[in-house]
Chains A and B, each alone.
Chain A
């Protein structure tokens, strides 16, 4: 898939990076962030972060020697270590965009024990908690500073 605003090379590198940041997990039965549906959401959601993401992609491609997508698994692992250490604010934006889309995917939310829905209108249940904990504070005398 190619977004009109990203070149094919940028799109390929973004997908590779998304999978490097959040790979699929058999243990948790979740796809990676390079999953087709999730990646489509990422590309669609770039919005006002697009230019920062493009800058991050350029930086990553430069460190990769031209193309992140073309790297083999071992080279991607080395690159991931470098980008985590010195990726800078634009790579942080790219990472944020990837996570914001990944963790709202139905499959991922279910794996975290979350219902795949927005907060409204169902909301959540919040237990009252242990109000007896407040008893020692209630026993304190007023300590606000008196003024004349």
Chain B
């Protein structure tokens, strides 16, 4: 029998680390269960000559391809967009691009402003101090003064524009469109024990230099020093409940596969927008026959992904290629609703500095641009380091038919039912996507690019897992309340992307972590009445 803890956190990624660090000051006994292990930066891909090849094996973005021991399978056959994630201490912050926009103020008010979906029960102004605190903890680089956002001051200067950023800027200025250096969690100076970026270029599958913020090197060292315990290689099967309907803890499998019950006073779910509903749906009891915290029937529903479009073109002058962080700029020119466009809401644009140079060649071969045989070398060199790429991050609004359920057949290595994804893109999102692709082509033409191609939705682009246990004030229309507590189970909290009401058109990690800090603060302020 394990010793009872005050707070049990499931998942050590973006939100689990933030909530653990914030709650540590209470001196409560806090334990985090993580299904993956601590990662070793000396084993990251950019330390070896096979760094690109590993994107197709043990560092693939899809857990279904990667198949590390920590990974669980996901049936995403019924979705054009496949889930990508990472399972380790630090979660998917180990494997992400470090692009770090916040949601915009309008994103929290889409019903009021545009008559679609629902407003959030919190707003940008409420979260603003938590965004700032999180920027400080993760270590954000950027440039203050972006006219597309309320003013905020990133703690470190921005990444260099480089050749690619300058070429992008020239093209955007021709069009008169907004662009700005991205906020990023890549350190540009020494910061909190992290070394500054040295442009390894291979940022997404973990940073050997430690310049990219992942929570195993940002929040966790601070939280552990403050007394929080992280227990790796522990895969949770279910959250248990007592006769009073309160959560009593979790059953997990330890690194030896032994079943363990961990009792707790409070349980906090931080397992992402697929892992959290999977666990709640697997936590079936007489009192909760349809899954834990699911009286609304909304656990697993309203899955949002950010369907992704990509526009690529080739320019004549050499660009930065793989010599720098992959995403360098953003544009919010088309972010807000314009009724004349024929769709609600909008999208963010992201400008890529690079793809790895062999990958660039492989993709160009698949497009028929680089032949086999005698013409291969000339063609490879013609395209080498000359790619421009724009990403279109569309806001897909919540729809209940887009969902996570339990697969009736597929199970993980411990016999736990795997998640099944059912997802389609709405007409509104398609209209938005087509608009974005057309603007991307205009950009490429302004940049003087040739051989322009588009691709949408990108299949391996299910990075952002949102909405599957939404927050709200109405227990019939939401899973958690306005400060993250389950409507049904008063000692169960959710702090990950599941609680998003809408998704905006930006990468969500910054907002996920700000929300986690906000919920932790709410818990601290209500400690004596937490379960009332």
Contact = CB atoms under 8 A, between A and B. Distances in A.
Interface of A: 20-23, 25, 27-28, 30, 45, 47-49, 77, 80, 83-84, 92, 95-96, 99-101, 103-104, 112, 114, 117-131, 133-134, 136-138, 140-147
Interface string B164-184: 011001101100001111000
B78 interface: no
B169 A134 contact: yes
Nearest to B333: A143
A126 B162 contact: yes
Interface in B42-64: 44, 46-53, 56-57
A100 B358 contact: yes
Nearest to A117: B49
A48 B163 CA distance: 37
12 contacts: A20-B373, A45-B50, A117-B49, A125-B199, A126-B323, A127-B162, A127-B163, A129-B163, A131-B161, A137-B178, A142-B147, A147-B105
B376 A120 contact: no
B347 to A, nearest CB: 14
Nearest 6 interchain pairs by C-beta: A129-B161, A123-B198, A124-B323, A133-B169, A120-B208, A119-B200
Interface stretch (B106-114, B246-254, B279-287, B399-407): B106-114
B147 A126 contact: no
A147 B44 contact: no
A135 to B, nearest CB: 9
Contact of A99 (B159, B361, B374): B361
B341 to A, nearest CB: 15
Given A27-B377, A129-B161, 5 more contacts: A20-B372, A28-B377, A114-B357, A137-B180, A142-B148
B147 A141 contact: yes
A127 B161 CA distance: 7
B352 to A, nearest CB: 14
B454 interface: no
Interface string B68-108: 00000000000000000000000000000000000011101
B460 to A, nearest CB: 14
B178 A140 contact: yes
B209 A123 contact: yes
A104 B46 CA distance: 13
Contacts of A20: 372-373
State the majority secondary structure of interface residues on B.
loop
Contacts of B395: none
A145 B107 CA distance: 9
Contacts of B50: 45, 100, 104
Contacts of B155: none
Interface residues of B, number: 70
A118 B48 contact: yes
Given A92-B366, A131-B161, A140-B147, A124 B199 contact: yes
A133 B179 CA distance: 10
B52 A144 contact: no
Interface in B121-168: 123-124, 143, 145, 147-150, 159-163, 165-166
Given A137-B180, A144-B104, A126 B46 contact: no
B56 A49 contact: yes
Contact of B358 (A104, A121, A131): A104
A23 B374 contact: yes
B408 interface: no
B162 A144 contact: no
Given A99-B358, A112-B381, A144-B150, A45 B53 contact: yes
Contacts of A141: 147
A120 B46 CA distance: 6
A136 B249 CA distance: 56
Interface string B387-401: 000000000000000
Nearest to B337: A145
Contacts of A101: 53
B162 A129 contact: yes
A100 B52 contact: yes
A114 B197 CA distance: 20
A123 B332 CA distance: 31
Contacts of A133: 161, 166, 169-170, 173
